[in-house]
Structure 1
Amino acid sequence: MNASYGRDLDLNLLRVFAVVADTGSVTDAARQLYLTQPAVSAALRRLTAAIGAPLFVRRGRGLELTGRGQRLHATLVPHLQAILDAALSAPQWNPATSERTLRLGVSDVAELWLLPALLRALAREAPRMCVVAVPVRFRTVAAALASGLDAAVTVADELPATVRRQPLFCGGFVCLFDPRHTRLRRAPTLEEYFALDHVIVSYNGDLRGIVEDVVRRQRKVRCSTSTFATLGALIDGSALVATVPTTVAAHIREIRSHLATRPLPFEIEGSPTELLWPSSADDDEACRFVRGKIVDIARAEAPKLQRA
């Protein structure tokens, strides 16, 4: 291909050549190609100059291939047909036989509710597909998508116009605790809440979380961890409480049903969890299939937010 470009060979000339060879007429070829006769003649002259040998000779009113033209035509036609088939044929992607590996960015919150359900869905319908789960956060997801992720599920702020986004659900926050070790009324007061010992998730590795940012008041933080995945084990059997998204609380309580939740004594506006993907993957059948499964899983997940 580089050699062809180096010789300034316009590949459109080859299509003109093929149609003229098939019709034996500049006039008929021009009609099929929706070009003028002078344009077709000029294309043949350019191709002849690039090849360095005559491709046609005149026979009566028509044109006949030379030996060089016959060899070019015999070699060219199968490749042109393959190019047309590739461009015009409908995609033949089949989830049951696909061996695609998709890179999926997930926040630590989304990892809890999404990955198990997604893997079960793929096991049923696309058993050969693989998923590489990459951790993302709202500050890093744009760069991660630009570096090659097929999709991501997380909370996000502003994103480039090249990123598609579909809201999945929007949940709030609750206080999660072990009622065997901590007593909380059904509607705890602000002072009761701040009197408790807290465990938080901090991506900055400090003792501040979303409550400090919203309420402007520091909790008694006894433990700071970097992921929601460990909160259930940290709370279970202790007097620690955690302020978590409702979807996290719901999934922790599926495993540790003896834990309980209470509403917060203040409002924290939750941001929507979104499905994000690069616009270049819009028509990728494998990506579209997995995106559909993610949407289905999120719809099934939404009712759990009401029970958290």
Structure 2
Amino acid sequence: MRFNKLDLNLLVVLNALLTERSISRAAEKIHLSQPATSNALSRLRAYFEDELLVASGRQLLLTPRALGLIEPVREILMRIDSTIATQPEFDPTTEQRDFTLLASDFTTTVLIPPLLASLYRDAPGIRIHLRSQTARPDEMLEQGKADFLVIPSQYLAKGHPSAALFEDEYVCVTWEGNSRVRECMSFDDYLACGHVVANFSGEQQASTFDGWFIGSFDVKRRIEVSAPTMAALPALVVGTDRIATVQRRVAKQAQAYLPIRLWEPPLKIPRLVQMLQWHKYRNNDAAVLWLRQRLIDTASRI
């Protein structure tokens, strides 16, 4: 099909090329051969009268014209998918469909297991693919790489609908044998003890919590251990005088099998408000609406 002399099938190839910036990766993504993808790129170059992707050493760089096409092309394909390709009705008992959720290990620990049990019973053909949090979750949503974000309220992507899932509060966790914190935890204890923290980026940088902590109290915690997962923190204080500050649900689960104690923080920490977000063009997708409600219902019971 052509529109203004452009074969509209080429838009799918163009989107893959602009996203992957590699002919081989784009070909794999859209299930074309490399020669077919190269041929499509040649036709796109002729239509736009621009190279679009140019070689620079061993990588391909986007031309200014190509950079300007990223958002319009992505938006066109998202609109087509949400208004034409999507089925108007959804039957969870028979539907075969994949959904990708971007979720932290905290969410994966407390929300996803009951969700999967519910889907296994009521929607056996629904397949869930979990992806870890990234530095730019909004890009995952915009690029269609995630159907849902399960994310703290402060990280919501602008311009897309969202709904509240659940809230949680923070508690402090210590080993039962902690030699400093015995009867209660004071603010001086909190500062004097070493801390075990989550660092999801893998880089030596302050977390959002530490940024808030420094801004509120003008002091730093002494971080002695960092890990790429929140759920592991309670286990990492065992046998030490260190403290972990984690969500209460994580701490309660860990307390069932670890020799740890839970303490009310000696400082007022804002509650975590966990949100669900989806792309604005998926707002009328019956399957997205159904899974959204199932996530909300599941969150209300945890």
Determine if the TM-score, normalized by the shorter chain, exceeds 0.5.
yes
The equivalent of 1:130 in structure 2 is 127
1:165 is matched by which residue type in structure 2?
S
> Does 2:162 match 1:160?
no
Pick from 223, 234, 237 the counterpart of residue 235 of structure 1: 237
Q: Distance in 1 between matches of 2:156 and 2:103?
A: 17
How does 1:93-172 map onto structure 2 within 5 Å? 93-137=90-134, 139-148=135-144, 149-155=146-152, 156-157=154-155, 159-161=157-159, 163-172=160-169
Q: Compared with structure 1, are the counterparts of its residues 197 and 293 closer, same or farther at alpha carbon in structure 2 (3 Å cutoff)?
A: same
How does 1:49-60 map onto structure 2 within 5 Å? none
The equivalent of 1:23 in structure 2 is none
Q: Compared with structure 1, are the counterparts of its residues 246 and 100 closer, same or farther at alpha carbon in structure 2 (3 Å cutoff)?
A: same
How does 1:141-290 map onto structure 2 within 5 Å? 141-148=137-144, 149-155=146-152, 156-157=154-155, 159-161=157-159, 163-182=160-179, 184-185=181-182, 187-204=184-201, 205-206=203-204, 208-209=206-207, 210-211=209-210, 212-213=213-214, 214-254=216-256, 256=257, 258-290=259-291
1:146 is matched by which residue type in structure 2?
E
Q: TM-score, normalised by structure 2?
A: 0.63
Q: Distance in 2 between matches of 1:229 and 1:188?
A: 22
Q: Distance in 1 between matches of 2:253 and 2:236?
A: 15
Q: Distance in 2 between matches of 1:266 and 1:290?
A: 37
How many residue pairs match? The answer is: 216
Q: Distance in 1 between matches of 2:233 and 2:100?
A: 26
- Deviation of residue 158 (structure 1)? 5.4
Q: Compared with structure 1, are the counterparts of its residues 206 and 215 closer, same or farther at alpha carbon in structure 2 (3 Å cutoff)?
A: farther
- Deviation of residue 202 (structure 1)? 2.3
1:280 is matched by which residue type in structure 2?
Y
Q: Say if 1:206 and 1:224, in contact at 8 Å, map to a contact too.
A: no
Q: What are structure 2's unaligned runs of at least 5 residues?
A: 6-82
The equivalent of 1:35 in structure 2 is none
The equivalent of 2:2 in structure 1 is 2
Q: Say if 2:234 and 2:244, in contact at 8 Å, map to a contact too.
A: no
- Deviation of residue 183 (structure 1)? 5.6
- Deviation of residue 237 (structure 1)? 4.1
Q: Distance in 2 between matches of 1:238 and 1:122?
A: 41
Q: Say if 1:186 and 1:262, in contact at 8 Å, map to a contact too.
A: no
The two structures, once aligned, show a CA RMSD in angstroms of: 2.6
- Deviation of residue 118 (structure 1)? 1.5
Q: Compared with structure 1, are the counterparts of its residues 286 and 106 closer, same or farther at alpha carbon in structure 2 (3 Å cutoff)?
A: same
Q: Distance in 1 between matches of 2:101 and 2:283?
A: 15
Q: Distance in 2 between matches of 1:207 and 1:195?
A: 21
Determine which structure has more spread, i.e. the larger CA radius of gyration: 1
Which string of whole-angstrom CA distances, capped at 9 and with x for unpartnered residues, describes residues 229-279 of structure 1?
A: 32233234443320112232233334x264221011111213411011112
The equivalent of 1:294 in structure 2 is 295
Q: Say if 1:176 and 1:260, in contact at 8 Å, map to a contact too.
A: yes
Q: Compared with structure 1, are the counterparts of its residues 297 and 184 closer, same or farther at alpha carbon in structure 2 (3 Å cutoff)?
A: farther
Q: Distance in 2 between matches of 1:207 and 1:158?
A: 21
Q: TM-score, normalised by structure 1?
A: 0.62
1:296 is matched by which residue type in structure 2?
D
